[in-house]
Structure 1
Amino acid sequence: MAGHSKFKNIMHRKGAQDKKRSAMFSKLSREITVAAKMGLPDPEMNARLRAAVLAAKAQSMPKDNIQRSIDKASAGDAESYEEIRYEGFGPGGVSLIVEALSDNRNRTATNVRTIFSKNGGNLGASGSVSHGFDRLGLIEYPATAGDADKVLEAAIEAGADDVESDDDGHRIWTSVDSLHEVAKALEGSLGEADATKLAWRPQTPVEVGEDDAAQLIKLIDTLDEDDDVQTVWGNYEISDAVAEKLA
């Protein structure tokens, strides 16, 4: 599989799970608060908040934590975060898109630029790589949701545009505008999704060799560890054989 998830699977097997979980909850909480602040505090009436809550539930974030994050926005005492997108290049000529929520643009820009430069990459100008990606809706289900045929049939009936299935699970792609309509329809046939979100899908994947993949993993891992970074998307593709060697 190409992109974010394969490397995520590798990193989740590398230890320091408590620290990663705490950082993940912090980022999920920030997204929930921002989403609630930008719209209504009701997930049923706020598509972005609904996606954020679903993502939090998929990571077993406690309900009390989710509600506190929503209440924080409603109370008007939440920090002001700015959405920022960075674009750059990683080892092996890979294109990367980094999405951040920051209360200090200068700090975040400095941190992201430093991480790129110290890990074999370089930060580019706005628009330098995003032209090679499509902005789409993404709904993710675990492999246990059903076999490829079952998920494909459900996705077609729900109005999805494309489906990718492998041993890691199912990725259902939609247009941005139809994401939440398709997600709701799929809940009826497949249950609640692991994630419902906006994503960057590469138009032309780049296969990465073992040496470049090791450095790329380090770059993405370090970006993920930054408090302000929410998501990292890339056009990389790594073979199962190389992934197992690096696991």
Structure 2
Amino acid sequence: MAGHSKWANIQHRKGRQDKLRSKLFSKLAKDIAIASKIGGPDPDMNPRLRLAINNAKGQSMPKDNIQRAVDKGAGGEGDDYEDIRYEGFGPGGIGFIVEASTDNRNRTAMEVRTAFSKNGGNMGETGSVSFMFDQVGKIEYPLDVTDEDTMMEAAIEAGAEDCETDDAAEDQWDEFEPVHTVWTARDDLGTVAPELEKKFGDAKSVNLVWKGQNDIDNPELAAQVMRLNDALEDLDDVNSVFHNFDLTDEAAATLEDDE
């Protein structure tokens, strides 16, 4: 998954995070409210809410904002949102999975379909892409919480499947914050994350993600794939976008050339 770290690096370098940050808190608040409405306002009894709150904390969302979102969901206020997943193909047959929360299926489907069609892709049927991915748990911690060996040992003891650490010394992207990334089986995320929290505090992020089984290495597609990725992420209803494109150093260099 090294390509996904590089992808995050390039998003930072191109100012993508600044552009998206204005929407970030509203999306986080919506996720918290939905989780609170579905499973109740107690994060200890509601794993989905716990994950949503941890992610909000990892993005420095103010505590008051988090509590308001919890209360809004618990009170049944606001629109009735539902989770929905879209699948499709980008340039060169790259697989994309798009997760959204929407109060209007028709609107969201039209916006996602348009983003695909305008950026060299096409939306597929449910199941047309997801068989090429595994849904797994992903936990991220800043490098300064501990060293690589200690994080690896703690992750394995907690029941994780793997742990990767970015090399801060070799990182060429000044604005990117290197992290320890802990991978878990889908069903183990809810037990591994609390164990790591006991030792290292709140994680930067805790999520279920779609991880490509065999990422596609084709540097010539990098710019096209990134345009589609950005178009999908810009949609208000979209929470997460996943793909099976391998953003190697060679592919990253082509994006540097486009600046």
**1:91 paired residue number:** 91
Distance (whole Å) between structure 1 residues aligned to residue 79 and residue 230 of structure 2: 26
Q: Are 1:113 and 2:110 counterparts?
A: no
**Structure 2, unaligned runs of 5 or more:** 168-177
Q: Deviations over 1:140-164 (max 9, x none)?
A: 1222233332211111111111222
Q: Deviations over 1:157-188 (max 9, x none)?
A: 11111222223322212122221211111112
Distance (whole Å) between structure 1 residues aligned to residue 27 and residue 111 of structure 2: 17
Distance (whole Å) between structure 2 residues aligned to residue 19 and residue 5 of structure 1: 19
Distance (whole Å) between structure 1 residues aligned to residue 103 and residue 6 of structure 2: 30
Q: Look up the SS of the partner of 1:69 in the other structure.
A: helix
**1:125 paired residue number:** 125
Q: Are 1:224 and 2:200 counterparts?
A: no
Q: Look up the SS of the partner of 2:112 in the other structure.
A: helix
Q: How does 1:206-217 map to 2 (within 5 A)?
A: 206-209=216-219, 211-217=220-226
Range 27-36 or range 68-77, more displaced: 68-77
**2:144 paired residue number:** 144
Opposite residue 60 of structure 1, the aligned amino acid is: S
**2:76 paired residue number:** 76
When the two structures are superposed, what TM-score results if normalisation uses the length of structure 1? 0.93
Distance (whole Å) between structure 2 residues aligned to residue 6 and residue 101 of structure 1: 27
When the two structures are superposed, what TM-score results if normalisation uses the length of structure 2? 0.89
Q: How does 1:226-245 map to 2 (within 5 A)?
A: 226-245=235-254
The structural deviation recorded for 1:53 is 0.5
Conserved? CA contact 2:88–2:122, under 8 Å: yes
Opposite residue 84 of structure 1, the aligned amino acid is: I
Distance (whole Å) between structure 2 residues aligned to residue 15 and residue 36 of structure 1: 32
Percent identical: 55
Indicate which of 184, 187, 192 corresponds to 2:194: 184
**1:135 paired residue number:** 135
Q: Work out the number of aligned pairs and report it.
A: 246
Opposite residue 62 of structure 1, the aligned amino acid is: P
Q: 1:151 to 1:17 in 2, by over 3 A?
A: closer
